[in-house]
Amino acid sequence: MTENQTKIYKNKLVNIETYGCQMNFSDSEIVGSIMAEEGYQTIESAENADILFINTCSIRDNAEQRIRKRLKEIKRMKKDNPNLKVGILGCMAERLKQQLLDEEDVVDLIVGPDAYRDLPNLIKTVESGRRAINVLLSEEETYAEIEPVRLGSNKISAFISIMRGCENFCTYCVVPFTRGKERSRDPETILNEARDLLAKGYKEVTLLGQNVNSYSWESNATAVSFPELITLVAALSPLLRVRFATSHPKDISDELIKTIAKTPNICYAIHLPFQSGSNDVLKRMSRKYTREWYMDRIRTIKKHIPDCGLSTDIIAGFCGETEEDHKQTLSLMERVGYDYAFMFKYSERPNTIAQKKFKDDVSEEIKSRRLTEIIDLQQVLSLSANKQNIGKTFEVLVESFSKRSKEDLAGRNSQNKMVVFPKKDFNIGDYVIVKIKDCTAATLIGEAV
């Protein structure tokens, strides 16, 4: 649907609740678009909805437990809105399939991440009073030409999904089972989506994939790699900021690092999950790189992009992790000096390689203690990284008012750090040069210059 077309809704309302990663948020926008074609308007709350979709995450057990709790609440909610239909989308739908229908009587519909085009048919079944399920995975589906409905958008920054699936089979991870084979999206459709966002006034896009470094498109005479794709997107306008997530350390190339370094509107921020600082643990995780390889990638990044923002993901207490392994994780964190990190306790997932091959033998108590040590260290590192920015000036893209005060604006610099500064005459969507005066571990505080 283009902005000029006025959609005629048949007064049917859908609410989409999204949990988990950025990819899920991006998928919900595709679902919103497919539902709009069916005459459904997307609304912010489930209260008056005809259909409630829950786009779910399976990455850790607590993500699934949260959905189970939510389903109990929805059961109570259904007493006031008995006609409400409930659909489970995403990874939990794909992982549990029919079992979820059997266990949760409040659920009418189960749809896996590659089956959203089938929603119109499935909904017809549900509207006729039956339950429906489609969890087929696809080797081709990329929803390439679907123009997402932007949900909960600040109209400044948007996600563009450039590929789907993952074939890395890190032993702890459920994603290759829930999201299927890796496939890349036609670059022309990616560029069209970015052009359309630009025309609507968006200023920032984040290119999404489970491992963007293995993006690869081939057709007839053309072959496009990720560095080429990101260069094409950045070339659309110097006013468009381009970000990406996520990079796998085994695949991040010198070419990509040099491309970021030389392209002013590709942001200087790399999310490079290391998971563990110990080679023994990395091997059991099947991450296919060593600590030394990882540190070499970091050195190359710092050489070409000295002021690059760096972030990571860390897992505490993977199978067989010793105290020495854990210390190596802490020491790697210190060596790199990340700006921020997403930190997790290992959560065993059914049917993953780790679940079949290794014993989940680090006690809950030790996992918690190690995670606390990791979080405490990251707090120190974030504060110290932010302090180094005091006195520097950055270009900030304003995204919103500050949470604390309507007198202040908030946005991010190229390095992806949140910057807060007095509003004065500036507005959301402006690029503002800000000098940093102060900071916390999470935020830089400055003034426009």
Least Å distance, CB 357 to ligand SF4, is: 15
286: tokens are 């099947």
Nearest to 408 by CA among 428, 394, 392, 438: 428
- Residue with smaller CB distance to ligand 5AD, 85 or 291: 291
Q: What SS3 string covers 216-237?
A: EEEECCEEEEHHHHHHHHHCCC
Least Å distance, CB 16 to ligand 5AD, is: 21
Pick the binder of ligand SF4 from 46, 74, 89, 173 (CB under 6 A): 173
Give residue 77's identity as a one-letter amino acid code.
M
- Residue 347: which of ligand SF4, ligand 5AD, none does it interact with, CB under 5 to 8 A by kind? ligand 5AD
The C-alpha atoms of residue 139 and residue 148 are separated, in whole angstroms, by: 21
Nearest to 114 by CA among 33, 174, 178, 168: 178
Least Å distance, CB 418 to ligand SF4, is: 25
Least Å distance, CB 341 to ligand 5AD, is: 10
What are the CA-CA distances from residue 176 to residues 91, 213, 412 (Å)? 10, 16, 32
Q: In the chain, helix, strand, coil percent, each to 5? A: 35, 25, 40
Stretch that binds ligand SF4, among 75-83, 90-98, 168-176, 276-284 (CB under 6 A): 168-176
Q: Which letter does DSSP use for residue 351 in this model?
A: T
- Residue with smaller CB distance to ligand 5AD, 266 or 374: 374
Q: Please give the sequence-ordered ranges of beta strands (E in DSSP) within 274-377, or none if there are none.
A: 309-316, 340-345
Least Å distance, CB 170 to ligand 5AD, is: 7
Least Å distance, CB 90 to ligand SF4, is: 14
Cβ atoms of 409 and 402 closer than 8 Å: yes
| Residue 166 sits in the site that holds ligand SF4 (CB under 6 A) | yes
- Residue 344: which of ligand 5AD, ligand SF4, none does it interact with, CB under 5 to 8 A by kind? ligand 5AD
- Residue with smaller CB distance to ligand 5AD, 21 or 30: 21
| Residue 168 sits in the site that holds ligand SF4 (CB under 6 A) | yes
The C-alpha atoms of residue 301 and residue 268 are separated, in whole angstroms, by: 10
CA angle 329, 332, 338 (to 5 degrees): 110
- Residue with smaller CB distance to ligand 5AD, 184 or 275: 275
Footprint of ligand SF4 on residues 218-257 (CB under 6 A)?
248
Nearest to 21 by CA among 189, 148, 211: 211
| Residue 132 sits in the site that holds ligand SF4 (CB under 6 A) | no
Q: Supply φ then ψ for residue 50, to 5 degrees.
A: -85, -35
Cα pseudo-dihedral 376, 390, 307, 312, rounded to 10: 20
Binding site for ligand 5AD (CB under 6 A): 59-60, 172-173, 273, 275, 313, 315, 344, 346-347, 349
Q: What SS3 string covers 173-232?
A: CCHHHHHCCCEECCHHHHHHHHHHHHHCCCCEEEEECCCHHHCEEEECCEEEEHHHHHHH
147: tokens are 């123009």
Binding mask 182-221 for ligand SF4 (x = CB under 6 A): ----------------------------xx----------
Least Å distance, CB 301 to ligand 5AD, is: 18
* Nearest-CB residue for ligand 5AD: 313
| Residue 175 sits in the site that holds ligand SF4 (CB under 6 A) | yes
- Residue with smaller CB distance to ligand 5AD, 88 or 315: 315
Per CB under 6 A, residues contacting ligand SF4 are 166, 168-170, 173, 175-176, 210-211, 248
